[in-house]
Structure 1
Amino acid sequence: MGLLSNLEADEGKETESTAPPPYSLVGNNELAESGTVQENGRININLDSKVARTLAKIIDLQQEDIHNPPPDYIDNLQHFTTCDLKLNIVIQIVGSRGDVQPFIALGNALQKHGHRVRIATHDVFANFVRDARLEFYPIGGDPAELMAYMVKNPGLIPQMKTLREGEVQRKQAMVAKMLDGCWRSCIQDDPLTQEPFVADAIIANPPSFAHVHCAQALGIPVHLMFTMPWSSTKAFPHPLANMNSSSMNPRTANWVTYGVVEWLTWQGLGDVINQWRISIDLEPIAATVGPSLPEALQIPHTYCWSPALVPKPTDWPAHIDVCGFFFRDPPSYSPPSELSEFLQAGPPPVYIGFGSIVVENPQKLIDTVVIAVVRSRVRAIISKGWSGLVGAPNPNIYYIDDCPHEWLFQHVAAVVHHGGAGTTACGLRNGKPTAIVPFFGDQPFWGNMIFRAGAGPSPIPYASLNFQRLTAAIQFCLTPEAREAAHRISLKMKNEAGVDAAVESFHRNLPIDRMRCDLIPNQVASWKYKKSAFSLSLSKKAAQILIENHKITKGHLELHHANPIVIENRRWDPISGMISAATTTGSIMLHSTADMVYNPYKEFKDGRTPRLPNKDLDAGPSTRNAPSHVYSTTPAKDMDISSPSESSGLQGKNGLLVAGSMLGATMKGFGKFTGSYFKGVVVDIPHAAAEGFRQVPRIYGETPKDYGTIQDWKSGAIFGGKNFVDGMTDGFTGIITQPMNGAKEEGALGAVKGFAKGTIGLATKVPSAGIGLVAYPFQGITKSIEAAFRSNTRKAIVNAQLKSGCYEAERLPMSAERRDEVLQSFSFLSTSHT
């Protein structure tokens, strides 16, 4: 079962109502109007809202061939990509056991290719992972508690009831801990063996949320894999969305639902993610960039379902694959004698089960099921599940405890269940017609997909379940048409190898050439050696050999980024760009003003309260092995236990210390205030204006020239210089060249259009050139200064790479002949360059 489809709905654990925390449900009224969260965790999308209409205009500008037929079934990837590199791969998973299980199969398959695989997930799955002979790293978080919350509040989008209960801050704190755990899983030693580990690539499911950001900090590839669609398409709506009736084109409406869900999700997670990004020395992401970030960066996706059930939409690009369900090797199972006798006593029964779903009234549910079974005149195996579904004794009904579906589904006529992805896959693989009774999350999506394929009836939402509807659903599953449709899907699925196809998709999307060491081509490059204009990509072993033989020094090494990720806040025009930059600056200044008042008061309050030493509080389990920049311990002076007379007020030395702390807090807030003001006025707002002017020609189809990414003062100066020369030249010459080119193509009308383009170009390119001559270099200088102060994460990565290199050199020493080859290759390449 998936993250949003495996929940114990525990209504008996309500917390006492508290005052709503200082949390904003959405950023503005328009966003609030775009969608509302239901009790079952799904989102009602208002297609007539301003946000939805704006998104619709974007998609309508793209050409769409309405005559395209639905995509045909496409078998698994037939070509194979060679990957001779042995990678350290961390797989980050947030969710239930059902979310982790497919990645166990994937991890074992990756091991067969020689990769070292670490599963980073919740602590409770440690034995589950290690029993599969995979490395495990704990990221914290309670999956049951998290899923219970996310079913009610997808993406941490809180309902008002949840706000009153005060759950939001507690769950955001849990997510923050998991984000940090995911980061540590990329660079920290194995918790059991202490074996060093630095990730060369990341695989993750989207709800882990840390994936792209960890990859950006490390400069490594990232690949997302999931059991339900998370990429915008016009083929079907977002699996968590309900659409209202609207005049909007249905295919456009499908696409819009993904944007609305992403925007709502960012409202719940944006602040948490940005605070965590700052802790690992990354810049915060603007609210206009955060939603759909993986899509904008074209991060590779692999979806783990059968294309026989849901073909790959035609509007998904090449870096998105549909590979097939991930099936584990069937476990060995010997049925009890009672079950064997029941199966042999009559025709194949119907399986009915709802897994880990816990309902408020199990007696009502089992009564409904039993009546439907009797009225359908079938035999049935009913899974007790977490709700403990047991009815009155009946010779045609067998109540079963845990039993592997892989075995059981071979012996039934049809399956009725809640719609978890894993259970759905198992039933269809065995060719069984399927009826879905969805409770929440993605379960309605799978029910609709089965209905569309003809392998089952339309899904029956649990809220509207009764014995009449369930009876009709069972009878539908026993029709020849349903059996034939399920059989067709089964035949296709049996020829699929979902795990192998996913490994192929992962390998195919790796930037292999950029990851390869120049001296030892079958090893991953971790370092970049630079001296003057000469540079080499070096593996940890290659660098270690060169250092030991005094060919290079550590000072000539810098971290190698095989897959640099650049997240830019694109400006579309100067007005909106300047307003956005000014708003951000004002927000920081306002926050700084609050700090100047609150932080001194906090220091005063802390100074009046004696602190007792508590090792468990100050250095708990979550801080072990954590990088120093993530966690801070209490200073020794604060650990002093003062006498009652000293702690009762601001007296003597203690009073002076508190007063000094208050003054320091005030000055820190003032420094942040003035710093944000000058940065906004001198750097951010001019840069937004220059970039906004530079982007305006996109209106008439002209793509601005690419001058690279501004990363430091040097690249900023180059960017500003090139933009100035080209902007001035193109701006003034365009008045002549644009009408002439237009006249050649379209005659007099083209000349008029060209004159308009030339006028717009003059009005935008020249200002961009002038403002940018100062703004872009200052932007580069700012990044250089920030990089100098934000060095803790870089140092942590460098130390982890050096430690890992020493460990590999000791564990797998290289022969003398091979070491000589490395030294000779280095001498040859360095000599050839000079």
Structure 2
Amino acid sequence: MKKSYAASTFSFETTTTEAFRHDTTRDTLVNDDCNDIPPPYTLISGDTNTLTQDDGRVRLDVNSKLARTLSVLIKNNADYVPPLKYEEPFLEQPEGQLPLNIVIQIVGSRGDVQPFIALGNELQKSGHRVRLATHDIFRDFVTQAGLAFHPIGGDPNELMSYMVKNPGLIPSMKTMQAGEISKKREMISEMLEGCWRSCIEPDEVTGTPFVADAIIANPPSFAHIHCAQALCIPVHLMFTMPWTATKSFPHPLANIQDNKAEPSMVNRLSYAMVEWMTWQGLADVVNSWRETMDLEPVPTTEGPFLAYTQNIPTTYCWSGALVPKPADWGQHIDVCGFFFRDMPNYKPPQDLQDFLEAGPTPIYIGFGSIVLEDVETISDIISEAVSNTGVRCILSKGWAGLCNVSGSPNILEVGDCPHEWLFQKVSAVVHHGGAGTAACGLKNGLPSLVCPFFGDQPFWGEMIHAAGAGPAPIHHKSLTPENLSEAIRYLTTPEARLAARNIAHCMSTENGVKAAVQSFHRNLPRETTRCDILPHLPAVWTYKLSSKRTIKLSKLAAENLLDHLKIDGKKLGINEVKSYIIENRRWEPLTGAASAAIGTLYRSGMAIGDGFKKDKKDKKDKKKQKLLQAGQTCTSESGISTPELASRSTSLQFSASDNDYTSIISSYSDSNDTQSKKPEDNQNHIARGFGKAGATYLKGSLVDIPFALAEGLRNAPLMYGDKPRDLGTVTDWKSGTAIAGKGLFYGIYDGITGLVTEPVKGAKKEGAVGALKGFGRGLGGIYWKPNAGLAGLLGYTVQGVYKSVYGALHTATRKRIAKARREEGVWLLKKAREENSVDLREIIVAFEELRKDGFS
């Protein structure tokens, strides 16, 4: 017998496909199986504003110029979208898993961090060394769980406050006027650098060396792919909300306007548009940071789609009982179930224990890490609703500081209390819709009301509502005593309780954390990571024994060989376990060459403008320095300390109209930084700007435009349905030269033979009509393909030379990585000697045998 979900109190305005229309007549609840899943959510259109501020979703017009442009960049290779079907996650556990150094990078609230603590503990059970990198405020939370911690900077309180004020991707005018945008960008820059340090720096407390062999991250940490590219290691994304394009449902942050476009295409397009808008706000910050790691800037059109073009493995941490895996997600994407940590060792305070035993089972109300603007109003609403419904309530104060304003004996305020323990003691939950809180409530079979603020919170509210396990979500700004009272009454109905128990029954067979670890292991590169001498350890080095033989070495094996003078440390190369080639895709020659030329002119102009900007700032700093020296003179004569002078001078000695000096006096720390600069250290930034612009123009003329033209000509046959030949990737001058030669040969060969082969292929598919089409493709090929080969002689060759020169000049990061790995190798060697865990002599013997084989 199938299960359906009560839905009498809600409806969807539109649906993504006919297969997903919600049947409001199915109001019977049967707890037999979990095969019939709830319909996917649909984003309800709001008013005519660009951004629906109430729920933070971006209002997207799929008929806009941006949408039409992005529709070309996304794949659309399936017209039919099969119905979503719940499948219990099962992944085969690979045997002989190597112990890796894994850094988990998480940006967000406590609810975002908590699931990854459970993941980290499970990874430790598999023998991995795990470091969790997140905001410093969660240091104790992480270390008490037995995980190594590394701070990445950033204040989640400020991030939460910003998100509450600006729940979508576009900030409010009030926020921009307050200067919060620049603060947020500075915070993101700090977190990017913090994420990079978490990959290669020793433990801050113990000093133990650590260099990551793999990265696990949630998408908002942003640094993951770039750190992995610098280290040449695998990265695996894990998240609690959909971030991979699918035809089954739209992006949770997208509010799609009414349109007549094909629904499945619109759903996929919504992901591209949200990613595009996010990248536009971060591109310059990310690319500036990439320069510090000797990485080239990410092209504008490639930045939003890196996870797709690089085929980054992704695991989604929710139960398929709510949102099954869409059929158009590849094998490298898994839905594994919610992450739950082990039950914490918690002893409740006496007042909580007494309250639980004093009457009927209470409900829970709390908004976790959310920072509210008007705490008193929300507290009043909660108190009145509790009074109206006659329920008893445990009120979590959270970061907002909610309180029992009425002093009602039916409300008990609590501080930090583990949901795993508390949700076994309550009958229903009212919360903000964080994935962790939603998961814990569903696991315990609790009807839930979501009062969303931003992000994925509306998504979870709609999912719970669609399953009948809770009323329609109520945005926190729409909360009133009346609608909250009505929602609480629904939570206490038998229908809501049974729907929640149905979901809990399905979830009881899942183990999200174990499934996620299996997903991570399954997607790791296998053979390329093993040490040739100690195959139970990962290889991070390559060493050339002879012209014919290169071996892979682990940190321990390499350091032991270096210690015995068996190898030359200067000849150790970084083992590129995973390579990430980020190129600007060109679709045809005209727009390809034109966009490269425009990009060259733009970057040249920006370089000149940056020179003038720095020069202006330099002159201002000189003026500040002179004024500061005057202030120091006054200090020495009067005996007043500089900070005291800073507080007095504005009103006593100096003109209020002198804004430059006033800014110094009011910001002593900035003045102190300026004081450390000497006048002779100042550079002619304008000249440097023009020099950089000239270099940019030269590179664009000699490298970017010829390469773009060659790629555009090679891909031109795509315009009429002919697939171009894959020539490989240009990584250095050798590969560039080889590809240029192949391009010329195959360009002529494919162009001539296509006159015969294309009509034959077409005839086999469509008969005479297909043969005619094939003949047309052959005529196109005889023009485009030889020209592409000729253009490639220059384009691919100069691109290869540029790659080699760039790599030779930008070696600081690779040296830093090598130094960090050597330091960890020394530590591992010392540890192995102390513990006598490895026969170090066997390493020498095995190396000698390999060397003999290499020269034989």
1:783 equivalent in structure 2: 803
Give the conservation status (yes or no) of the 8 Å contact 2:164–2:453. no
Note the alpha carbon deviations across 1:146-205, whole angstroms, 9 max, x for none: 232244456874333322222222221111111111111111111112111111011111
**Contact in 2 for aligned 1:34/1:47 (Cα 8 Å):** no
Give 3-state SS (helix, strand or coil) of 2:423's partner. helix
Following the alignment from structure 2 to structure 1, what is the Cα–Cα distance between the partners of residues 253 and 551?
Answer: 48
CA RMSD in angstroms, aligned pairs only: 2.9
Aligned pair in 2 of structure 1 residues 482, 589: CA closer, same or farther (>3 Å)?
A: same
Structure 1 counterpart of 2:542, from 518, 528, 538: 528
CA contact 2:624–2:674 (8 Å) conserved in 1: no
1:674, distance to aligned residue in structure 2 (A): 2.1
**Aligned partner of residue 806 in structure 2, secondary structure:** helix
- 1:56-455 pair list within 5 angstroms: 61-66=76-81, 68-72=82-86, 74-153=87-166, 157-385=170-398, 386-394=400-408, 396-455=410-469
* Corresponding residue for residue 735 of structure 2: 715
Q: Matches of residues 713-792 of structure 1 in structure 2 within 5 Å?
A: 713-743=733-763, 745-792=765-812
Tell me which residue corresponds to 1:504: 518
Q: In 1, are the aligned partners of 2:111 and 2:369 still within 8 Å (CA)?
A: no
The match for 2:823 is 803
Which residue of 833, 836, 850 maps to 1:829?
850
Q: Compute the displacement of 1:106 (Å).
A: 1.5
Report the more deviating stretch, 757-766 or 162-171: 162-171
SS of equivalent to 2:175? helix
Partners in 2 of 1:742 and 1:641 — Cα distance? Answer: 72
Residues 793, 363 of structure 1: alpha-carbon distance in 2 compared, 3 angstrom cutoff: closer
- Does structure 1 conserve the Cα–Cα contact (< 8 Å) formed by 2:58 and 2:169? no
Structure 2 contact 743–789 (Cα < 8 Å) conserved: yes
What displacement does 1:249 show?
3.4
Q: CA deviation at 1:342?
A: 4.1
Distance 1:133 1:724 in 2: 58
Distance in 1 (CA, whole Å) between partners of 2:227 and 2:74 is 31
TM-score by length of 1: 0.86
Paired residue for 2:13?
Answer: none
- Mapped partners of 1:146, 1:190: distance in 2: 26
* Alignment counterpart, residue 813 of structure 2, candidates 782, 793, 806: 793
SS at match of 1:305: coil
Structure-2 change in CA distance of 1:703 and 1:536 (3 Å): farther
Q: C-alpha distance in 2, partners of 1:404/1:597?
A: 55
Map 1:11-90 onto structure 2 (within 5 A): 36=51, 38=53, 41-55=56-70, 61-66=76-81, 68-72=82-86, 74-90=87-103
Q: Is the 8 A contact 1:150 1:156 kept in 2?
A: no
Aligned to 1:557: 572
State whether residues 404 and 411 of structure 2, in contact with CA within 8 Å, keep that contact through their aligned partners in structure 1. no
Note closer, same or farther for the CA distance 1:820–1:349 as it changes in structure 2 (3 Å cut). Answer: closer
Matched pairs, number: 763
CA contact (8 A) 2:55 2:452 kept: no
Higher alpha-carbon deviation: 301-310 or 667-676: 667-676
Greater mean deviation of Cα atoms: 603-612 or 578-587: 603-612
1:270: Cα distance to partner? 0.5
Q: 1:399 to 1:830 in 2, by over 3 A?
A: closer
Pair 828,699 (structure 1): closer, same or farther in 2 beyond 3 Å: farther
**1:795-827 residue CA offsets vs partner (Å, 9 max, x unmatched):** 111111112112211121396994443334333
Q: What are the within-5 Å matches in structure 2 for residues 621-640 of structure 1? A: none
Question: CA, structure 1 residues 281+692, in 2 after alignment: closer, same or farther (shift >3 Å)?
Answer: same
Q: 1:710 to 1:310 in 2, by over 3 A?
A: same
Q: Distance in 2 between matches of 1:60 and 1:552?
A: 49
Aligned pair in 2 of structure 1 residues 353, 593: CA closer, same or farther (>3 Å)?
closer
Q: Report if aligned partners of 1:155, 1:265 keep a CA contact under 8 Å in 2.
A: no
Aligned mates of 1:778, 1:206 — CA distance in 2: 35
| 1:117-145 superposed Cα distances (whole Å, 9 cap, x missing partner) | 11111222222222222212121111111
Q: CA deviation at 1:606?
A: 4.4
The answer as to whether partners of 1:83 and 1:512 remain within 8 angstroms in 2 is: no
Identify which of 671, 679, 686 aligns with 2:699: 679
Paired residues of 1:436 and 1:447 also in contact (CA < 8 A): yes
CA distance in 1, matches of 2:353, 2:845: 70
Identity %: 51
How many angstroms apart in 1 are the aligned matches of 2:675 and 2:417? 55
Superposed CA deviations along residues 390-427 of structure 1, whole A, max 9, x for unmatched, are: 14354554444443322222232222222122221111
Counterpart secondary structure, 1:525? coil
Question: Can you list the C-alpha shifts for 1:89-110, whole angstroms capped at 9, x where unaligned?
Answer: 1111111222222222211221
2:57–2:168 CA contact under 8 A, matched in 1: no
Match of 1:577 in 2: 592
Measured after TM superposition, the shift of residue 770 of structure 1 is 0.7
Q: Partners in 1 of 2:309 and 2:807 — Cα distance?
A: 25
- Mapped to 2, the partners of 1:397 and 1:815 lie a distance apart of 60
Partners of 1:37 and 1:159 within 8 A in 2:
no
Task: Check the 8 A contact 1:40/1:152 in 2, yes or no.
Answer: no
Specify whether residues 280 and 393 from structure 1 end up closer, same or farther in structure 2 by C-alpha distance, changes over 3 A only. Answer: closer
For residues 718 and 769 of structure 2, the distance between their equivalents in structure 1, rounded to whole angstroms, comes to: 20
How far did residue 712 of structure 1 move?
A: 1.1
Aligned in 2, Cα 1:373/1:143: closer, same or farther, shift over 3 Å?
closer
Residue 580 of structure 1 aligns with an amino acid whose one-letter code is S
- Whether the 8 Å contact between 1:229 and 1:238 is mirrored in structure 2 is yes
Task: Check if 1:541 corresponds to 2:556.
Answer: yes
Distance change in 2, residues 1:313/1:363 (3 Å): same
CA distance in 1, matches of 2:709, 2:852: 48
Distance in 2 (alpha carbons) for counterparts of 1:805 and 1:231: 38
Alpha-carbon distance in structure 2 between the residues aligned to 1:307 and 1:115: 28
User: Cα deviations across residues 231-272 of structure 1 (Å, max 9, x unaligned)?
Assistant: 112233222222222223333333222111111101110000
The secondary structure found in structure 1 opposite 2:133 is strand
Deviations 1:315-342 (A, max 9, x none): 2211111222222222334445554454
> Which residue of structure 2 aligns with residue 458 of structure 1?
472
Offset at residue 543 of structure 1 (A): 1.8
Secondary structure of the residue aligned to 1:456 is: coil
Q: 1:699 and 2:719 equivalent? A: yes
Please state how far the C-alpha of 1:601 moved relative to its aligned partner. 4.9
- Conserved in 2, the CA contact under 8 Å of 1:158 and 1:268? no
Contact 2:105–2:218 at 8 Å: present in 1 too? yes
Cα distance in structure 1, aligned partners of 2:223 and 2:826: 28
Show CA shifts across 1:278-309 (max 9, x none). Answer: 11000001110000311221111112222222
Instruction: State the secondary structure of the residue aligned to 1:585.
Output: helix
Separation of aligned partners in 1, 2:677 and 2:498:
78
CA drift of 1:602 comes to 4.8
Tell me, yes or no, if the aligned pair for 2:713 and 2:785 is still in contact at 8 Å: yes
Could you tell me which runs of 5 or more consecutive residues in structure 2 were left unpaired when the two chains were aligned. Answer: 1-47, 633-669
Task: Assess, with a 3 A threshold, how the Cα gap between structure 1 residues 817 and 270 changes in structure 2: closer, same or farther.
Answer: closer
